């Protein structure tokens, strides 16, 4: 347990910042917890931090203590409408890396209009867990290279970053794919740990505008519907107009915008 003195907080006593676990910090004012900090590695290996505190001074001291003990780079995600929280992270030296719109996507085919959507001729949708890992990684690398050569990989979902050897496949069982006889043409990743989330939907550049993305989305939403989920969530980078149009076209509702900040 590591404790460092801080500047006076909500009372006359000095606030103490205490690291209560490897990934948790408490701000204590006379043994009363007046703020909490948390750090968590996401599946891609990046370290995200969060702080919950009532007062700016407490937030700043928690941030100071955490940043002194955690390796850079560090990331956090904030609701853009939360001006106070965003300001706190900016005081700590964080800057905007990306802005995303968060959508709620219905799974009811009567709402999405995807009930009759089928993949184009010669293309088969393989459900999550059935993809060949070699071909899956091949299409992932190909799409990544295409995106990097055009709009840049920063336009793709925030948690998808390069791993050793350029691999960005964290868990192959989460991916459904659009398969041609000799290769995969596109992929969609859905995670349902807390709430269903579409983390990635992408198609090879030469295979776009054939309805493959819609077929993948129809499959994924159909599977979620069968599993009892009425809605899914997804985030779309503000510059990705094609993705925004696709999701809005199936009845997705923009809920808010998020900022990913980095230090």
Query: Which of these three, 72, 99, 126, is where a domain ends?
Result: 99
42, 69, 99: which is the final residue of a domain? 99
Q: Note the pLDDT tens digit of each residue in 130-162.
A: 999 999 999 998 998 888 777 655 555 555 545
Assigned domain for 72 exists: yes
Domain termination residue (choose one: 99, 126, 147): 99
pLDDT bucket at 3, cuts 50 / 70 / 90: very low
Domain encompassing residue 30: 2-99
Tokens of 8: 């006076």
Separation of first and last alpha carbons in the chain: 25
263 domain-assigned: no
Q: Could you tell me if residue 143 is inside a domain?
A: yes
Residue 103: pLDDT band with limits 50, 70, 90? very high
State the average pLDDT over residues 83-110. 95
Please indicate, yes or no, whether residues 121 and 242 belong to a single structural domain of this protein.
yes
- How far apart CA 48 and CA 71 sit, in angstroms, is 11
Instruction: Check the CA dihedral 247-248-250-256 and report its sign.
Output: positive
137 with 214, same domain?
A: yes
Please state, in angstroms and rounded to a whole number, the distance separating the CA atoms of residues 217 and 262.
31
- Asked if residue 262 is part of any domain, the answer here is no
Within-domain flag for 54: yes
User: Cβ-count burial of 59 within 10 angstroms (0-12 exposed, 13-18 middle, 19+ buried)?
Assistant: buried
Taking Cα atoms as reference points, which of 73, 49, 53, 72 lies closest to residue 61? 53
Check whether residue 79 and residue 121 sit in a common domain.
no
Q: Tokens 């955490």 appear where?
A: 66
Greater confidence, 69 or 146? 69
pLDDT digits (tens, 9 = 90+) for 185-220: 999 999 987 789 998 899 999 999 999 999 999 999
Q: Are residues 92 and 131 in the same domain?
A: no
How many angstroms separate the CA atoms of 177 and 119, rounded? 11
For the chain, give the mean pLDDT.
88
Confidence of residue 226 (pLDDT cuts 50, 70, 90): very high
Reported as a pLDDT band with limits 50, 70 and 90, residue 4 is: very low
Is 249 domain-assigned? yes
Return d(Cα 173, Cα 161) in angstroms, integer: 18
Looking at residue 79, which CATH number applies to its domain? 3.40.630.30
Same domain for 107 and 80? no
Q: Is 74 a domain residue?
A: yes
By the 8 A CB rule, do 192 and 227 touch? yes
- Residues 83 and 162 reside in one and the same domain: no
- Given a cut of 70, is residue 11 above it in pLDDT? no
Comparison of pLDDT for 231 and 1, the residue scoring more: 231
DSSP state of 89: H
Question: Domain tally for the chain?
Answer: 2
Average pLDDT over residues 66-81: 95
Residues 222 and 133 in one domain: yes
Asked if residue 182 belongs to a domain, the reply is yes
What mean pLDDT is predicted for residues 236-252? 92
């Amino acid at each position: 347990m590591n404790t460092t003195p801080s500047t006076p907080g909500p009372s006359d006593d000095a606030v103490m910042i205490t690291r209560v676990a490897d990934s948790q910090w408490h701000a204590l004012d006379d043994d009363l917890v007046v703020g909490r900090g948390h750090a968590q590695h996401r599946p891609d290996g990046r370290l995200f931090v969060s702080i919950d505190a009532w007062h700016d001074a407490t937030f700043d001291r928690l941030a100071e203590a955490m940043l002194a003990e955690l390796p850079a780079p560090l990331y956090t995600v904030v609701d853009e409408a939360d001006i106070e929280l965003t300001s706190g992270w900016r005081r700590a030296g964080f800057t905007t890396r990306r802005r995303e719109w968060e959508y709620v996507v219905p799974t009811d085919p009567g709402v999405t209009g995807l009930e009759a959507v089928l993949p184009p001729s010669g293309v088969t949708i393989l459900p999550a867990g059935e993809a060949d890992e070699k071909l899956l990684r091949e299409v992932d690398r190909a799409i990544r290279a295409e995106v990097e050569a055009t709009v840049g990989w920063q336009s793709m979902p925030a948690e998808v970053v390069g791993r050793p050897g350029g691999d960005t496949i964290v868990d192959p069982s989460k991916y459904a794919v659009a398969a041609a006889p000799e290769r995969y043409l596109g992929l969609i990743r859905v995670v349902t740990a807390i709430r269903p989330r579409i983390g990635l939907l992408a198609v090879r550049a030469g295979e776009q505008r054939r309805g493959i993305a819609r077929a993948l989305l129809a499959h994924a939403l159909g599977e979620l519907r069968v599993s009892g989920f009425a809605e899914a969530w997804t985030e779309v980078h503000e510059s990705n107009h094609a993705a925004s149009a696709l999701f809005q076209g199936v009845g997705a509702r923009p809920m808010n915008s998020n900022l990913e900040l980095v230090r």
